[in-house]
């Protein structure tokens, strides 16, 4: 946990897209009084036009060079870009002395990368935060597996063909993937981050089973999580509204990042 002695926590964001817009609006815009202990001071991105627009609207510094961005006075960096950017910049962020929050948790599906980041975070005495994203039940999975007694975890995700980025719309619901979470994130890096969250909380990317369904008749992204073990069994369903500005991103995913930021230094912790 970050211990800043009750002082303002300065945040930098990587990315100028939909999640970045959401966080800036909530933290620096309409709900500033509810987020007085956190402050977004810097944004990094490759799109200068969008970056300058964000800088002007929310009075934050915009950088398009990562080294200059990391030299700015920030305590924690929120990656809100892509899996590729997360894998490219995470090591540099931790070495710069910043804490890190990953939006593109699919990057952690690469075991070599996961081990590298875990080792580096320990060496640098930094924290890596992974929000729960668009799913629930993470605390249940972690508790059920604390003694290694969680046996099965499966995820069935239903999304519209549009949100999955399919070129052709099927006329009815169609299974487009069935296999392990590690393979799912490789084939759908922008759509199935939730499978990696579940894998990290539970039994790993190879044992966590994933089924992806393209359904032209749904408007909400739906995730059904099932688990079993010595604790008993678990069945959880969440239906997510997509963000209005981008149907590929669940609104709950953005909310989970905001919630994690708001509660990092809260004196009372709920859940494991």
Q: How many Cβ atoms sit within 10 Å of the Cβ of residue 55?
A: 17
Question: Exposed/middle/buried for 41, CB within 10 Å: 0-12, 13-18, 19+?
Answer: middle
Minimum mean pLDDT among 4-18, 25-39, 124-138: which range? 25-39
Given a cut of 90, is residue 51 above it in pLDDT?
A: yes
Q: Mean pLDDT over residues 174-201, rounded?
A: 94
Residue 33 has what pLDDT? 56
* Half-sphere exposure in the Cβ direction for 175 (13 Å, CA): 7
Residue 163 has what pLDDT? 83
pTM, rounded to two decimals: 0.92
Q: Burial code of 185-213, b = ≥16 C-beta within 10 A, e = fewer?
A: bbebbebbbbbbbbbbbbbebebbbbbbb
Given a cut of 80, is residue 145 above it in pLDDT?
A: yes
The span from the CA of 85 to the CA of 74, in Å, is 19
Question: Exposed/middle/buried for 136, CB within 10 Å: 0-12, 13-18, 19+?
Answer: middle
Q: Which residue in 37, 223, 230, 235 is the catalytic one?
A: 223
Given a cut of 70, is residue 31 above it in pLDDT?
A: no
The better pLDDT of the pair 270, 100 is held by: 100
**pLDDT confidence band for 34 (50 / 70 / 90):** low
Residue 129 has what pLDDT? 97
CA 108 remoteness from chain centre:
11
Q: Mean pLDDT over residues 22-47, rounded?
A: 86
Residue 248 has what pLDDT? 67
Instruction: Read off the tokens for 18.
Output: 């939909």
The better pLDDT of the pair 166, 91 is held by: 91
Instruction: Give strand pairing partners of 238.
Output: 223
Instruction: Read off the tokens for 117.
Output: 């980041």
The span from the CA of 14 to the CA of 214, in Å, is 30
217-233 pLDDT, tens digit per residue, is 998 999 999 999 999 99
Q: Mean pLDDT over residues 42-60, rounded?
A: 96
SS3 191: coil
The span from the CA of 2 to the CA of 38, in Å, is 12
Instruction: Read off the tokens for 22.
Output: 């959401």
Residue holding tokens 């909400």? 220
Q: Mean pLDDT over residues 251-272, rounded?
A: 89
Residue 60 has what pLDDT? 97
Kindly list the structural domains of the chain, giving each domain's residue range(s) and its CATH number in brackets, ordered by start.
Answer: 9-130 (3.40.50.720), 138-244 (3.30.360.10)
Q: Mean pLDDT over residues 142-159, rounded?
A: 96
Residue 231 has what pLDDT? 96
* Known catalytic membership, residue 127: no
**pLDDT confidence band for 141 (50 / 70 / 90):** very high
The better pLDDT of the pair 88, 6 is held by: 88
Residue 190 has what pLDDT? 84
Residue 1 has what pLDDT? 53
Residue 101 has what pLDDT? 98
Q: Mean pLDDT over residues 39-62, rounded?
A: 96
**pLDDT confidence band for 162 (50 / 70 / 90):** confident
Given a cut of 90, is residue 67 above it in pLDDT?
A: yes
The span from the CA of 202 to the CA of 221, in Å, is 22
């Amino acid at each position: 946990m970050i211990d800043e002695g009750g002082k303002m926590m300065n945040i930098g964001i990587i990315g100028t897209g939909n999640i970045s817009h959401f966080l800036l609006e909530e933290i620096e815009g309409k709900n500033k009084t509810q987020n007085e202990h956190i402050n977004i001071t810097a944004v990094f991105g490759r799109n200068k036009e969008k970056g300058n627009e964000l800088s002007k609207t929310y009075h934050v510094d915009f950088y398009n060079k990562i080294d200059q961005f990391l030299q700015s006075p920030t305590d924690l960096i929120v990656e809100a870009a892509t899996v590729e950017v997360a894998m490219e910049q995470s090591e540099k962020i931790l070495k710069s002395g910043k804490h890190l929050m990953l939006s593109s948790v699919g990057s952690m599906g690469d075991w070599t990368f996961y081990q590298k980041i875990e080792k580096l975070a320990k060496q640098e005495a930094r924290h890596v935060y992974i929000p729960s994203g668009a799913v629930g039940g993470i605390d249940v999975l972690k508790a059920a597996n604390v003694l290694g007694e969680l046996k099965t975890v499966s995820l069935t995700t239903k999304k519209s063909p549009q949100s999955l980025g399919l070129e052709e719309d099927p006329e009815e619901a169609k299974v487009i993937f069935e296999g392990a979470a590690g393979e799912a994130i490789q084939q759908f890096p922008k759509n199935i981050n939730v499978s990696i969250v579940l894998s990290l909380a539970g039994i790993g990317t190879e044992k966590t089973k994933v089924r992806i369904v393209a359904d032209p008749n749904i408007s909400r992204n739906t995730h059904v999580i099932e688990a079993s073990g010595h604790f008993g069994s678990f069945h959880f369903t969440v239906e997510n509204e997509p963000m209005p500005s981008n149907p590929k991103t669940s609104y709950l995913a953005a909310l989970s990042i905001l919630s994690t930021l708001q509660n990092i230094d809260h004196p009372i912790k709920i859940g494991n």
